[in-house]
Amino acid sequence: MAQYIKSLKNGMDALNLLANEGPKTVNDIAKHLGVHRTSAHRLLATLASGNFVHRSSDNGLYHLGPQLIRLGHALITSSGVRKAVGPQLEWLATETREAAVLKVPYDRFWAVCLESAEGDHAVQTLAKPGRVTPLHVGGTGKAILAHLPAETVDAMAQEGLLKPYTDKTLVEPAALKEQLEIIRLRGYSISLGEIEEGASAIGAPIFDVAGKVVAAISIAGPAHRLTAPDRQPGLIKAVLMAAERASEMIGFSFPDDSSPAVG
């Protein structure tokens, strides 16, 4: 029988619990591990010291921590996903001359920026590697959320996560679901000042071989450039092309009649 360190296994089990079921209290984790609350608290304090988990000051729930993002980034950097998306990210930045951004789903309700590339006209954006934003805002976040179960929006509302960044952020679940359905059908999302006033983004999902959304790619820049009638159709086409190429490199096959509409 394999030998293992019990405390280390408990730590891994706690992380897997948070990854699979979302934020939990100390009591939830203690019950799951079959240990006393004091032991669970010490375990979580140890994990928190290395940023593997963090405790919300609002409700005391424990979430996965930013160190896992760094580890995930290291894995993806050397994986097929990174190899597939990296060239498309660079191509998209060069083709559109805007900032191109890659994000992946994180901890059920969030998207984390893994990488960005800058085109000739790129301006400084808030999408820096490691930054985490909720899925209901931004071009990449909504591109991902549109392909998750509809109950995800309700769960985010129950967790109090549908908060406005600007007056253009959709926070009403019914209205958000309606917009997400449009995004899912046409294949791309457009964000207009949802995170930052005057900023815009166009995003599209990336799928794996099983058809699961595993990432999203977008361009970000000033709204007046990304919404210009003479530019926007071409920008949308470029984003869709980059996302489709990345998906195909990972193994996803698009049906012949599934080409998203542009415009």
pLDDT tens profile 79-88: 556 677 889 9
Give domain 68-250's CATH architecture. 2-Layer Sandwich (3.30)
Residue 158: other Cβ atoms inside 10 A: 11
Residue 87, SS3? helix
**Range scoring the smallest mean pLDDT among 110-114, 252-256, 259-263:** 259-263
Angstrom distance (rounded) from CA 57 to CA 60: 6
pLDDT of 172 reads: 95
pLDDT for 224 beyond 70:
yes
pLDDT of 238 reads: 98
Identify whether the C-beta of residue 153 lies closer than 8 Å to the C-beta of residue 181.
Answer: no
Report whether CATH 3.40.50.2000 matches the domain 6-64. Answer: no
pLDDT of 242 reads: 96
| Confidence band of 156 (pLDDT split at 50, 70, 90) | very high
86-93 mean pLDDT = 93
Q: Which helix (H) or strand (E) holds 7?
A: helix 6-21
Q: Where are the CATH 1.10.10.10 domain residues in the chain?
A: 6-64
pLDDT for 145 beyond 70:
yes
pLDDT of 256 reads: 64
130-144 mean pLDDT = 92
| Confidence band of 263 (pLDDT split at 50, 70, 90) | very low
183-211 mean pLDDT = 93
Q: Where are the CATH 3.30.450.40 domain residues in the chain?
A: 68-250
Does the CA dihedral 146-147-151-154 come out positive or negative?
negative
What are the two backbone dihedrals, phi and then psi, of residue 134, each rounded to the nearest 5 degrees? -70, 155
pLDDT of 73 reads: 61
Angstrom distance (rounded) from CA 61 to CA 143: 27
56-84 mean pLDDT = 74
Mean pLDDT score of the chain: 87
**Range scoring the smallest mean pLDDT among 15-24, 58-67, 119-128:** 119-128
Angstrom distance (rounded) from CA 256 to CA 161: 37
| Confidence band of 219 (pLDDT split at 50, 70, 90) | very high
Residue 116: other Cβ atoms inside 10 A: 20
Angstrom distance (rounded) from CA 232 to CA 250: 27
pLDDT of 82 reads: 67
Identify whether the C-beta of residue 204 lies closer than 8 Å to the C-beta of residue 143.
Answer: yes
**Range scoring the smallest mean pLDDT among 83-87, 106-110, 216-220, 221-225:** 83-87
| Confidence band of 259 (pLDDT split at 50, 70, 90) | low
What are the two backbone dihedrals, phi and then psi, of residue 125, each rounded to the nearest 5 degrees? -115, 170
Angstrom distance (rounded) from CA 12 to CA 94: 41
Angstrom distance (rounded) from CA 17 to CA 198: 39
Residue 219, SS3? strand
Identify whether the C-beta of residue 107 lies closer than 8 Å to the C-beta of residue 125.
Answer: no
